[in-house]
Amino acid sequence: MALSKQSTFDYEVRGDYKVIQIRERIAILEDGVEISFKYERRALMPDADVSSESDEVKGLANSLWTDAVKKAYQDSLT
């Protein structure tokens, strides 16, 4: 009996400030057959540090979070 863990990711971009939502699906496999799974979610706002994120998330952030979007988000906080 060999247990392993497998993660897959879904991304969604929402709202005026291009919030990146990340959903991770974590599956537990026994001998290659899924026996359990769960979801974990988190959201990244335009002021988030994405340096430790995957290249895919970095690419999304760099293309979506223009200076105008970042400024509009900062202005909304005050």
Q: Other CB atoms closer than 10 Å to residue 71's CB: what's the count? A: 11
Q: What is the DSSP string of 15-62?
A: TTTTEEEEEEEEEEEETTEEEEEEEEEEEE-TT---TTS-HHHHHHHH
pLDDT, the chain, mean: 97
pLDDT digits (tens, 9 = 90+) for 20-52: 999 999 999 999 999 999 999 999 999 999 999
Please state the domain count of the chain.
1
pLDDT (0 to 100) of residue 1: 83
For residue 71, what are the domain limits? 3-77
pLDDT (0 to 100) of residue 36: 98
pLDDT digits (tens, 9 = 90+) for 48-77: 999 999 999 999 999 999 999 999 999 999
pLDDT (0 to 100) of residue 78: 82
